[in-house]
Amino acid sequence: MTQLTNQSSDVVIDTLLTQLTLKEKISFLVGANVWETVPIERLNIPSLRVTDGPNGARGSQFFDGTTAACFPACVSIAATFNGDLTKQIGIALGQESQTKGAYVLLGPTVCSHRSPLGGRNFEAFSEDPLLSGVLAAEYVKGLQSERVSGTIKHFLGNEQDTRRFTVNEIISERALREIYLRPFEIVIKTADPWCLMTSYPKINGKHVDTSNEFLQKILREEWKYPGLVMSDWGATTSTVESLNAGLDLEMPGKTKWRSLEQVKQALEAGTLTESTIEDRARAVLRLLKKTGKFDDRKDDIVETAVDLPEHRKLICHAGAEGIVLLKNAENILPLDKSKCKKIALLGPLAKYPAAHAGGSASLNCHYKVSPFDAFSSRLGEDTIIAYSKGAHIFRVHPDMEKECKTSTGNNGFEAEYWKNSTFEGEPFHTAEFARGSFTTLMDTAVEGKLSVRFTTTYTPTETSSPYLSFSTMGPSKMYVNDVTLFEQAEATKDSMAFLLGVQDELHSQYLFEAGKSYKIRIDNVSSPEPNGELYLLDGQIAAHLGFIPQVEMELDVLSEATELAKEADVAIVCVGNTAQWETEGQDMDDMNLPADGSQDRLIAAVAAVNPRTIVVNTIGVAVTTPWLDSVPAFLQAWYAGQESGNAIFDHTAVYGNFGMDSYESRQVEYVEGVFVGYRHFDRMWGTEKEVRWPFGFGLSYTSFEISGAKVEGSLEAPGGHGPVITADIKNVGGFAGAEVVQAYILPPKASDDHVIKSLVGFAKMTLEPSEIGRISIDVNVLQAAYWHVESRKWKIKAGTYKLWVSTSSSPDDRKAELEIVVEKAFFIDP
């Protein structure tokens, strides 16, 4: 391969294509395994490894893999409104990916936040397509500066997780163009991402992987996208249609749709041509070239944990900048240390470092800093930190872990694997796990029809009756000293929910005596029936053994927290979601904090006894706040990454048409059209439905004045280069701080089918007290256009457009109103 390294990409690819056999070209159409493409050893063509995910490079193990840096979730990044910072995060993620031998990162997610119930909202940026697209582009630019490909996903319509594998989404053409396609368009046209991932759902009756409309006409022809298109894992739905539509790579391997036999049959039938096969193979080879796999990057890299100080600093800074101050009565924040000699740090997330949510975004962090860790280590001995959990919010019991030993004397559990359902003969593979859960899914070491025996020896130091829970994917039994405690006769009712750690099925207490050893064994076989709507789950085995100490479960933590709050100078209540409550694969049932009102009761009880109560909410979505009037301060902390505790220290229109009416339903209609997020709530100003915190809102510890706003240029300028908005900003407060200036455009005539306004640009500036700066916002003409369905083009209306210079989408936060006139309506080709 040395002779190819200094040649142009086209020469390299063309040379290799002439040397490949048809069989070898076909092999490129699908992954070699869960995370890699197929190598061709005889031509020295290496494999290419990919890795999840959007907030950290996890590596090849879905659970308990090599540790990795955990960055803030994309929703937290979006709250910074900071493109430069987003690019720095992309650069660092590119560096992290390389420590895992991976040169494709499966992110960022740029799907829109259609509903606050979206279980995966945290993984995407925003409800606004401009903000999502601009920041995702910077993220991709950072990644690819390290020769690590970004993978924008999930193209298209992955706004809900309820039945996402089979749902048919009815979306109007205008909504598709103005809301759901727009962020992808921005990234593709401004950042040249090397990979794009298709989604699971059908859109208007057709899966994206088979859609000529989306993959050929829009993506390839209109947007001139030259990169590779891969499927989400298991989202390929056909052989011929997907290949002809332009899906280059089916993931993962082994294939369901692109075996040698299937493809050859299509070629023989004339429904597929060899030139199409060659086009798909060419895309894979181009990606290998772009990521340096024909140059200095080899396949023998061992996954390593590289915990860089500069990454720690970046994660902490980004996490803190993403935190949004929503309420600060009487300027209680920032806290005066001299008046806080005793702090009550309360809540289920006070000692739980909510670095990330669940699913593809999860990873084994280098470390995680909880709020308790940060406050305890940084305040010093002169400040007393009192802690209470205050509320139980288990969705499933935590994995059994402590006081467990394998047969080799290591901490944890041991798994033995057989290729039969009767545990006959010797196991063909063994593995050890740190805690009471395992899965065969995405484990490249085990394949085929299996049975698994999962064992540990538990020796408690205290006599008690802990609370146990049990669930598996296939039929199973759980024994204590060879006596059956649990039996699950059939496959789990929801395999995806189980795998993501949000479902327990069997519960019991069991008396364990101190000093006595107990042999715990789970015998688990694969189910002969399908394990759900996703074929990748078929035949898989997984188990979860949950454990909560008796004293922990039965303690009155609410009373304990209230008593501590009474005696404290200030009470900080840390609430929100965990990875069990907010995860890929599960939308939320409502907008309340989990579980069963326990966190709301905790906040209300603490606020009743301590008037200096601060609420810190770590979550990826909006929630109800029935206690807000009784607390002086409220911060939205998001998922800030492994430094979340330090970051905290430093610092809907679709109701009834989201998810499903019933489990059996397979269709959902995007009835709101283009009125998503603030575009909907704009119509509610002045009514009882007016939102408390508008899009883009956030308080500061200082104050700013915005003056001298003006606009130059025209919406009718050629090439899409529209007007430029400038304004002066002055910090008139006593602290250094940053302000985000947002520009919104209002079309000439409001109507039922046009939004009142849209974000067209933003700028962020940090200023010292009394410092003055000038911001500049370039407005792209397309941001002022709407999709004209009849002509299938973008249209700019004639008339007077208003431009708001603002600090949120609220009319109350408008700082200046400018005007720009379009004399004659015109169209713009897509």
First to last CA, the chain: 41
State yes or no: is 232 an active-site residue.
yes
What are the distances in angstroms from CA 397 to CA 64, 499, 502, 525, 804?
18, 14, 9, 23, 50
Burial class (CB in 10 A: 0-12, 13-18, 19+), 18: exposed
One-letter amino acid at 653 equals A
Closest Cα partner for 361 from 189, 105, 138, 590?
A: 105
In degrees, rounded to 5, the angle at the alpha carbon of residue 473 between the alpha carbons of residues 470 and 477 is 50
Q: Which one is catalytic: 209, 232, 373, 587?
A: 232
Please name which of 440, 444, 448 lies closest in space to residue 473, comparing C-alpha atoms: 440
Rg from Cα positions in the chain: 27
Angle made by CA atoms 653, 659, 661, in degrees to the nearest 5? 100
Neighbouring residues of 23: CB distance < 8 A, sequence distance ≥ 6: 260
For 15, the token pair is 């040379």
Q: What is the DSSP letter of 510?
A: -
**What residue type is 10 in one-letter code?**
D
Query: What element of type H or E holds 727?
Result: strand 721-731
Q: How many Å apart are CA 366 and CA 305, to the nearest integer? A: 7
244 near 227, Cβ under 8 Å? Answer: no
| Cβ atoms of 147 and 102 closer than 8 Å | no
- The β-bridge relationship of strands 467-472 and 413-418 is unpaired
Using DSSP bridges, classify how beta strands 50-51 and 104-105 pair: parallel, antiparallel or unpaired: parallel
- Which one-letter DSSP state was computed for residue 630? G
Residues 6+ apart with CB under 8 A from 813: 694, 696, 697, 806, 807
Cis peptide before 32 (omega within 30 of 0): no
Residue 221: count other Cβ atoms within 10 Å of its Cβ. Answer: 12
**Helical H segments across 100-207, by residue range:** 129-145, 173-175, 182-191
Alpha helix stretches (DSSP H) within 335-379: 371-379
3-class state of residue 49 by DSSP: strand
605 phi, psi to nearest 5 deg: -70, -40
> What three-state secondary structure class fits 521?
strand
Element (H, E) at 343: strand 342-346
Active site residues: 232
